[in-house]
Amino acid sequence: MTRFWLLKCEPDVYSIDDLERDGRTGWDGVRNHQVRNFMRDEMKPGDLGIFYHSNAEPPGAAGIVRIERSGVPDPTQFDPKSEYHDPKSRREDPTWRMCEVSFVERFAELVPLDRLRGDAALASLLILRRGNRLSITPLERAEFDRIRVLGAVRAETGTKGAAGKQGAVGTKGAARTKERLRAAK
């Protein structure tokens, strides 16, 4: 059974444009146990996800991805040079997992958070709940379908946001602080 997910990432770190260019990417850098468990136990090849731009101007739903693999050991945990290196993790039993996602589509226009919030059909969307900070959350099929419909319709007004167009150097699962972003430049 196909399941549906919402994957958050800061576009300054990795955006839907980067994924369109790359075609496929490892969703590495997740260091939250709940999200790790989703990727290890629940996400399956063929599942679909909304790619959400967080910490952006404006934040919102940017496109659609397909889960290609999941539960894959995240290589950054074994890389001493990575800021996500975890010296306690063993190769025989990796602590941190990632999924691999492929590009499906970029929305005709980003669906801003305001628009998601104002939509009655999305009232139960987990990312709209106060205090929710998980970088990956499950979606109902109806929620996924609704966001896809909103994304397919080009708004009659509104300017296209200047999406970040940087190389794929960062990690997706964990947002970077502005300080770290600055340091990375």
DSSP string, 48-117: EEEEEE-SSSS-EEEEEEEEEEEEEE-GGGG-TTSTT--TT-BTTB-S-EEEEEEEEEEEEEEEEHHHHH
> Which of these ranges, 92-100, 149-157, 161-169, 174-182, lies near DNA under the rule CB under 7 A?
174-182
Contact characters 137-166, DNA, x per CB under 7 A: ------------------------------
Q: Does 55 bind DNA (CB under 7 A)?
A: yes
Reference 137, options 147, 105, 24; nearest CA is 147
Distance CA(185)–CA(159), nearest Å, equals 27
- The residue (of 46 and 126) whose beta carbon lies closer to DNA is 126
Quick check: 83 and 179 in contact, CB under 8 A? no
Report helix, strand or coil for 39. Answer: helix
Distance CA(169)–CA(185), nearest Å, equals 11
Give the residue, chosen from 2, 21, 24, 33, that forms a contact with DNA under the rule CB under 7 A: 33
Q: Does 182 bind DNA (CB under 7 A)?
A: no
Contact characters 94-133, DNA, x per CB under 7 A: -------------------xx--x---------x--xxxx
Reference 55, options 176, 179, 182, 184; nearest CA is 176
Q: Does 7 bind DNA (CB under 7 A)?
A: no
What is the footprint of DNA within residues 58-87 (CB under 7 A)? 59
- The residue (of 2 and 34) whose beta carbon lies closer to DNA is 34
- The residue (of 8 and 106) whose beta carbon lies closer to DNA is 8
Q: Which residues bind DNA (CB under 7 A)?
A: 8, 10, 32-33, 54-56, 59, 113-114, 117, 127, 130-135, 174-177
